């Protein structure tokens, strides 16, 4: 278990809770700590409880912590809902104005601090949260100047007065806790400073797509995918690109198909409800062999489900959604670094295999902050796949054969604007020329051509990633953001003498059955952990022949992110019942 501490701030939505968490996390990150920042919120703008937790460690952590060391409460509801997360004697910083009361059974130490009053004295009620940040800095014995420097930088553009008010708020909060003799109540482990960034998966994914040369993004706003659109809207004008906010997801996906057909790199990003609407378009991209990158940032479904909660239940829709039998590639990043890599690689796969590529992200990865190291641009090269050379078109005596039958199923495409490359791209079944054909033999050969394009991907390097699998008796298989929780569980289990290991599936379709079979070969038990009710990845594994009496499922679908504790408990239960 990495030594870590957690700090939580809670209040009503619209009170700047996220922004405050962001400040606290970012300063700690600059001080050399690794951060995981996660939040609880609802689908509304003002009102309703929200909280933001900053987990602080010397090494990378990518999962929520079961308890918190410090709770800052701006409302009584925050105390009532979260007070139990504090261990006995841990400080609960509450605004005196609330006349806060600890709930029955809560053994935390209530520290009343006049946040609102101090903020008013400083001259602006809005700096209340910064008083709390200053007080928190004191509790952890952190150098206040780092917070002051950040506040100056952040609020500079709002004018000298605002910046000074924020600095003063920090100082007053810090002094208040110091006077109570609570300075350094918690000591953090020594930080390991290095070049590090604090990003969400949406941030890094957007950056990955930009680096891949994506210059057109079409989308319809939807939680938790919207940040990708907003990030790119800020970035693209500088690089000649455009973000188009469309009237719906039907328009978004078909714009992307048009743009890719015409030779640009274009993408869309959505979540479950929008992804359902895109299925017909995705089928067109499969059929007409047009590259298309679709990011599905999963949330709880079906229908509107729980829009601000965690789930990984679009997997089967990503692989099999839509009518007919079309080819898709489905990849799933689990960390912000992987989101960058997959944001980049998705375009190479789409161009190389001329088909839709679905990047399955999920809410925790998409929106929660994590420390990022080693995000090199260098390791990635743009590969536009097979595009016919103009000289070859110039030599043609007849029509360009866009869908020529080839051994690997991939046929070079022409891009509009290339002389003599004209062809019809259509969602109707077509002959190798592109012309419509309903001939039975042609149907078979074109279906087989499209299908065999993906054969090589079953063994693609990087389709799975393993950790601690040497001599592992229990293999925990997972995908997406829960990889952090699984890794932490593996360490906890190892401390208890259980030889556990982790296998992360990064390419979910085509299922990498060959490397998976090898990786899982030595394990006595295989626990497939996923955040859905029906074990969707396990179903895919079964289709790929990865199923025998060693396999078990851990399904988690209450909307919270799977915790290391839950994974450990599941493995322990296996040991008790089945004697691993």
Q: Kindly tell me which of 94 and 288 has the beta carbon lying closer to another protein.
A: 288
CA quadruple 269, 274, 277, 279: dihedral positive or negative? positive
Question: Least distance in Å: CB of 316 to another protein?
Answer: 22
Question: Least distance in Å: CB of 379 to another protein?
Answer: 12
Distance of CA 268 to the CA centre of its chain: 15
- What is the distance between the alpha carbons of residues 29 and 36, in angstroms, rounded to a whole number? 10
**What residues contact 569, with CB distance under 8 A and at least 6 apart?**
none
Q: Kindly tell me which of 278 and 546 has the beta carbon lying closer to another protein.
A: 278
Question: Least distance in Å: CB of 135 to another protein?
Answer: 24
Burial class (CB in 10 A: 0-12, 13-18, 19+), 566: middle
Q: Kindly tell me which of 71 and 285 has the beta carbon lying closer to another protein.
A: 285
Question: Least distance in Å: CB of 247 to another protein?
Answer: 4
Question: Least distance in Å: CB of 425 to another protein?
Answer: 5
Q: Kindly tell me which of 180 and 211 has the beta carbon lying closer to another protein.
A: 211
Q: Kindly tell me which of 235 and 524 has the beta carbon lying closer to another protein.
A: 235
Extract the runs of DSSP E, i.e. beta strands, from 33-182.
34-40, 49-57, 70-73, 91-95, 109-113
Q: Kindly tell me which of 394 and 573 has the beta carbon lying closer to another protein.
A: 394
The helix/strand/coil state of 12 is: strand
Give the residues across from 553 on adjacent strands: 528
Beta carbons of 358 and 318 less than 8 angstroms apart: yes
**What residues contact 416, with CB distance under 8 A and at least 6 apart?**
261, 262, 263
Closest CA to 60 of 30, 26, 32, 86: 32
Question: Least distance in Å: CB of 211 to another protein?
Answer: 5
Q: Kindly tell me which of 25 and 535 has the beta carbon lying closer to another protein.
A: 25
Angle between helices 483-495 and 564-578 (to 10 degrees): 50
Beta strands 242-245 and 216-219: pairing type?
parallel
Q: Kindly tell me which of 238 and 395 has the beta carbon lying closer to another protein.
A: 238
Q: Would you call the peptide bond into 173 cis, given omega within 30 degrees of 0 as the criterion?
A: no
Beta carbons of 257 and 284 less than 8 angstroms apart: yes
Burial class (CB in 10 A: 0-12, 13-18, 19+), 418: middle
CA quadruple 131, 132, 138, 143: dihedral positive or negative? negative
Q: Kindly tell me which of 163 and 290 has the beta carbon lying closer to another protein.
A: 290
**What residues contact 575, with CB distance under 8 A and at least 6 apart?**
498
Question: Least distance in Å: CB of 34 to another protein?
Answer: 14
- What is the distance between the alpha carbons of residues 568 and 349, in angstroms, rounded to a whole number? 36
Question: Least distance in Å: CB of 487 to another protein?
Answer: 23
Question: Least distance in Å: CB of 419 to another protein?
Answer: 5
Q: Kindly tell me which of 93 and 372 has the beta carbon lying closer to another protein.
A: 372
Question: Least distance in Å: CB of 26 to another protein?
Answer: 8
């Amino acid at each position: 278990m990495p030594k870590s501490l957690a700090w939580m701030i809670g209040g009503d939505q619209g009170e700047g809770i996220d922004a405050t968490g962001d400040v606290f996390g970012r300063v700690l990150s600059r001080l050399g700590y690794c951060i995981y920042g996660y939040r609880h919120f609802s689908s509304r703008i003002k009102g309703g409880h929200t909280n933001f937790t900053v987990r602080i460690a010397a090494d990378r952590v990518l999962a929520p912590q079961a308890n918190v060391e410090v709770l800052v409460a701006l409302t009584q509801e925050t105390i009532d809902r979260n007070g139990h997360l504090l261990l006995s004697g841990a400080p609960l910083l509450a605004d005196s104005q609330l006349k806060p009361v600890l709930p029955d059974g809560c053994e935390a130490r209530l520290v009343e601090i006049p946040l609102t009053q101090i903020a008013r004295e400083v001259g602006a009620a809005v700096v209340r949260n910064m008083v709390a940040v200053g007080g928190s800095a004191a509790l952890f014995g952190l150098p206040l100047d780092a917070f002051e420097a950040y506040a100056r930088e952040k609020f500079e553009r709002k004018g000298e007065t605002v910046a000074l008010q924020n600095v003063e708020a920090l100082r007053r909060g810090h002094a208040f806790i110091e006077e109570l003799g609570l300075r350094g109540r918690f000591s953090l482990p020594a930080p390991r400073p290095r070049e590090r960034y604090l990003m969400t998966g949406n941030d890094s994914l957007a950056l990955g797509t930009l680096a891949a040369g994506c210059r057109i993004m079409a989308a319809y706003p939807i939680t938790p995918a919207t940040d990708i659109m907003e990030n790119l809207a800020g970035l693209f004008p500088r690089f000649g690109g455009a973000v188009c906010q469309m009237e719906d997801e039907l328009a978004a996906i078909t714009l992307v198909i048009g743009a890719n057909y015409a030779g640009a790199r274009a993408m869309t990003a959505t979540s479950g409800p929008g992804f359902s609407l895109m299925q017909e378009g995705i089928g067109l991209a499969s059929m007409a062999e047009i590259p298309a990158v679709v990011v599905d940032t999963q949330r709880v479904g079906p229908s509107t489900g729980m829009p601000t909660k965690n789930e990984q239940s679009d997997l089967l829709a990503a692989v099999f959604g839509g009518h007919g039998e079309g080819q898709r590639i489905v990849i799933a990043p689990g960390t912000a670094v992987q989101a960058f890599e997959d944001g980049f690689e998705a375009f190479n796969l789409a161009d190389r295999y001329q088909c839709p590529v679905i990047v399955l992200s999920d809410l925790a990865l998409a929106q929660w902050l994590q420390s990022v190291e080693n995000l090199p641009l260098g390791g990635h090269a743009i590969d536009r796949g097979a595009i016919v050379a103009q000289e070859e078109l110039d030599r043609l005596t007849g029509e360009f054969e866009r869908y020529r039958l080839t051994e690997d199923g991939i046929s070079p495409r022409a891009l509009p604007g290339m002389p003599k490359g004209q062809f019809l791209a259509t969602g109707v079944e077509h002959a190798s020329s592109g012309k419509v054909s309903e001939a039975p033999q042609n149907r078979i050969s074109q279906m087989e051509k499209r299908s065999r394009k993906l054969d090589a991907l079953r063994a693609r390097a990087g389709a799975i990633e393993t950790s601690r699998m040497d001599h592992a008796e229990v293999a925990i298989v997972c995908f997406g953001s829960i990889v952090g929780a699984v890794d932490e569980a593996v360490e906890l289990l190892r401390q208890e003498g259980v030889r556990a290991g982790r296998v992360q599936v990064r390419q979910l379709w085509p299922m990498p059955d060959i490397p998976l079979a090898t990786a899982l070969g030595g394990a006595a038990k295989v626990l497939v952990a996923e955040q859905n009710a029906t074990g969707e990845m396990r179903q895919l594994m079964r289709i790929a022949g990865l199923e025998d009496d060693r396999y078990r499922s851990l399904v988690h679908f209450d909307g919270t992110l799977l915790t290391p504790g839950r994974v450990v408990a599941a493995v322990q239960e296996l040991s008790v019942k089945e004697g691993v």
